[in-house]
Structure 1
Amino acid sequence: MMLAADFANTAFFTYFLLPFLIFLSRIMDVTIGTIRIVMVSKGQKYLAPLLGFFEILIWLIAISRIFENLDNWVCYFAYAAGFATGNLIGLLLEERLAMGIVKIQIITRNSATELIANLKDAGYGITYHEAKGSTENVSIIYSIIKRNEIQKVEDLVKTTNPKAFYSIEDVKSVSHGVFHVKTVSRKWRRWRKGK
């Protein structure tokens, strides 16, 4: 029967299992770190430190294995590959979570009347004004939306005014205003006004 100490000295453990465990631990700690950074930027003051605790704990375990095996180049490769993969997974996960709110700014040279009506009918609060562009007059529309609704608003803009320019930026916090709760149809609004 093989003892744990004997197993730790096998080529299978040294060149496959140990690097694989280092790779997995780096994926976990970097993914947690990416989410933690997002939580810090969103002002999540209780969740961010908790994630930081687990991030550094996992990192310490991984780095201690590296220092115990300084002559094993496969561990170095696994450490670097885990870091890169952890970044990718962290970004994909953060994109899926779509936490927080953003400001969308839409600039259009065409008449903004239909786009404004469509955004209002979809239940989004908007602010708009006319402005002077570099070559002609434009309409500028602003709205604060949840990150998970970006695609819906982009589709609305592209359908109504495909040549509109828009930009999206993160917003840390807001107070007051009209925020999208559910889709409200134009017919329902007309019916409510008629009552």
Structure 2
Amino acid sequence: MAQDLFTVWILIPSLIFLARILDVSLGTIKIIFIAKGYRKSAPILAFFEMLLWLYTITKIMENLTNPINYVAYALGFSAGTYAGIILEGKLAVGTEIIQVITKKDATNLVQYLKDHGYRVTHVTACGEEGPVNILFTVVKRKKISQVVGIIRRFNPKSFYTIEDIEYVSERPAPFEYTREDQINDMFKGLRKSK
């Protein structure tokens, strides 16, 4: 009897909660992979996501009169959403383009970025209030905060935008082969080609 109470009120709700966290987190990763061009790996993640979802629904349907299961399901969804957001930030998969517009001379910034292995395209243009310098650099998403820090150090009043890139024809500089590169290379065959 005590074991049945433990199973019904603690074990099953805990399993529902954990399964929901996992399935929602997998759903988040699946969506990121689709957005980043890893479209062939998304069905694999979707399979496991749905398998976990079916498990949780089955457990709820087995005991419709236990309100703790509903609470565990909802809390698992919320926690899974939060875990997915954190996981997405940690994975930081993909490549971004940073565009910098500054009225200030950008020679030192361009040189510093180049000296540290970043590729930079620099053009002079005419802005609303006169001449401006425009810089473009393509970087791995994990390097964004580092590059933004460099930009702010050299040109604190510059205007910059960061945009997601779905496809890059070659690996962005600096050319360090990281764990992320190893993972990306594993999925390269699964990635949509251009």
Q: What TM-score, normalized to structure 2?
A: 0.83
Give the 5 Å matches for 1:126-141: 126-141=120-135
Residues of 1 paired with 2:172 and 2:56: CA distance? 48
Is residue 125–residue 177 contact of structure 1 (8 Å, CA) maintained in 2?
A: no
**Which ranges in structure 2 are unaligned for 5 or more consecutive residues?**
177-194
Partner of 1:149: 143
Alignment match, 2:20? 26
SS of 1:60's equivalent in the other structure is helix
Given residue 106 of structure 2, which amino acid in structure 1 is its aligned partner? A
- CA offsets per residue over residues 122-181 of structure 1, 9 Å max, x none? 111111222233333321111111111112211211211112221211111112586321
The alignment's C-alpha RMSD in Å is 1.9
In structure 2, what is the equivalent of residue 80 of structure 1?
A: 74
CA separation in 2, counterparts of 1:78 and 1:130? 58
Structure 1 residue 70, shift from structure 2 partner: 2.0
Whole-angstrom CA distance in 2 between matches of 1:139 and 1:53: 49
Contact 2:96/2:165, CA 8 A, preserved across alignment: yes
Amino acid at match of 1:55: E
Q: Which amino acid aligns with 2:22?
A: M
- Following the alignment from structure 1 to structure 2, what is the Cα–Cα distance between the partners of residues 92 and 151? 16
Shift in Å, 1:71: 2.0
**Partner deviation per Cα, 1:5-46 (whole Å, 9 max, x = no partner):** x84xx3322222211110000000011110111111111133
Q: Does 2:98 align with 1:94?
A: no
Q: Which portions of structure 1, spanning 4 or more consecutive aligned residues, are displaced by more than 6 angstroms?
A: none
Please name the residue that 2:40 is paired with. 46
Counterpart-to-counterpart distance in 1, 2:93 and 2:109 = 26
**Greater displacement, 65-74 / 171-180:** 171-180
Residue among 153, 168, 172 paired with 1:174: 168
CA distance in 1, matches of 2:72, 2:36: 32
The alignment of Structure 1 onto Structure 2 pairs a total of residues equal to 176
2:110 and 2:174 mapped to 1: Cα distance? 14
Q: Which residue of 2 aligns with 1:13?
A: 7
- CA pair 12-149 structure 1, distance change in 2 beyond 3 A: same
Closer/same/farther in 2, CA of residues 177 and 81 from structure 1, 3 Å limit: closer
Larger RCO, structure (CA 8 Å, separation 6 or more): 2
1:58 and 1:41 mapped to 2: Cα distance?
23
Residue identity over aligned pairs, in percent, reads 44
| CA deviation profile, 1:95-132 (whole Å, cap 9, x unmatched) | 11222111111111211111111111111111122223
Larger radius of gyration: 1
